[in-house]
Amino acid sequence: MTNRVGHIDIAKGVSIILVALFHSNLYYFAPNFIDSMGLFRMPLFFFLSGVFFSTVVDVRTFLWKKSDALLKPYFATLLTLFFISVIFKEDHLTSQLKGIIYGNGDTIRWVPMWFLTHLFAVYCFTYFIFRFTGIRDKGAFYKLSVVAILMLIGTQWVTAFWQLKIVLPGKEITLPGLPFSLDLVFISSSFFMMGAFLRKMVIDFRPNVQILLVSVLVFVAIQLLTDARIGLNNRIYINPLLATTGAICGIYFVMVASFYINKTIILRNIFLTFGQASLFILIFHYSIQAMAYNYFSGLVDYDLGFWGAISAFLISIVTPVLIMAVATRNKVLSFIYLPLKPDKHLQVDALRCADEAQKQGVD
């Protein structure tokens, strides 16, 4: 499929805005409301990432493409920050470098970028499951069983490596989860696989009023009447059955909203832009929001309150769009943040795989 699917790109835009909203100072004005979206915020991210998942390319090509798309901008950005720290002779440089290599949210300065290393792990994990089990050609019950088993295992050991103390000769260390947040891979890959298995339904999505109503009522009931909660970076998955149900309800609501946004010209263009710039927003919104809010705070002698928070939030999602526009025209930034053009033999492989994908009905 060469044409982009509008409502899916819009859903990605909604998803990344929810992530930026969670990290903004607006959180302090509506903590319960923003926390409630935690049930589906990251599950939605993984679900959408899985929609166009494909295993038609060979292992080498697959790893090269995913490393290029996810690990390259991650390491390039954080290593640049590291070298700036070296220039200014900051403290704890060794631990900072180790944290970048370890690659999860508790070990890096720009926390949201943990998603890039983890998504790479999810892609690899899912690729090998699909390749060695042939699950894509199995029946619905088999697929559902695999997703359920992965979710069950993942939710049971979600805290197994979180702040785990390990005694070594002469010292004690505390694990902040596994490298690349591998301890979360069963949970995140479950939502990722849901997206892959429901690919056609998502692409051809049409809202159902009855399902929407039930989804909203169930989601609200779970929020008000239970302690279900999801916070993957902090290894939180409370009341797994209800939390997963709430995540699915939230995902459906976002898909409905994206479908109707796609019907309006102005909103469609706005959210499509954010969806296409999701990588840049993910990488830069965290620091831009903090810098903008601090700058505004320095201009006045009183608390900026809501208007300062919303101004900093808007700047944090608009500025990365401008960075993307510059990156598409700058060779250095393009090399860092945009996928490289494949060489000739990879182009031949891509054409072959595209033909094969068309036969299989996958992208």
Domain spans of the chain, in order of start: 6-360
For residue 165, which phi and psi values (nearest 5 degrees)? -90, 130
What is residue 303's predicted lDDT score, i.e. its pLDDT? 67
Let me know: does 311 contact 342? Beta carbons within 8 Å.
Answer: no
What is residue 196's predicted lDDT score, i.e. its pLDDT? 96
Give the type of residue at 151. Answer: M
What is residue 311's predicted lDDT score, i.e. its pLDDT? 93
Which pair of tokens denotes residue 227?
């302690």
Task: Say how many C-beta atoms besides its own lie within 10 A of residue 183's C-beta.
Answer: 22
Strand partners of residue 24: none
- CA neighbours closer than 13 Å in the CB half-sphere of residue 80: 10
Phi-psi region of 174 (alpha: psi -120 to 50; beta: other; left: phi over 0): beta
Question: How far is 296 from 27, CA to CA, in rounded Å?
Answer: 17
* DSSP code for 342: P
What is residue 297's predicted lDDT score, i.e. its pLDDT? 80
What is residue 83's predicted lDDT score, i.e. its pLDDT? 95
What is residue 302's predicted lDDT score, i.e. its pLDDT? 63
Question: How far is 294 from 308, CA to CA, in rounded Å?
Answer: 10
DSSP string, 58-83: -HHHHHHHHIIIIIHHHHHHHHHHHH
Residuewise pLDDT in 10s, the chain (363 residues): 334 789 999 999 999 999 999 999 999 999 999 999 999 999 999 999 999 999 999 999 999 999 999 999 999 999 999 999 999 988 889 999 999 999 999 999 999 999 999 999 999 999 999 998 889 889 999 999 999 999 999 999 999 999 999 988 878 889 999 999 999 999 999 999 999 999 999 999 999 999 999 999 999 999 999 999 999 999 999 999 999 999 999 999 999 999 999 999 999 999 999 999 999 999 999 999 999 998 888 776 666 788 889 999 999 999 999 999 999 999 999 999 999 876 544 444 444 444 444 444 433
What is residue 316's predicted lDDT score, i.e. its pLDDT? 97
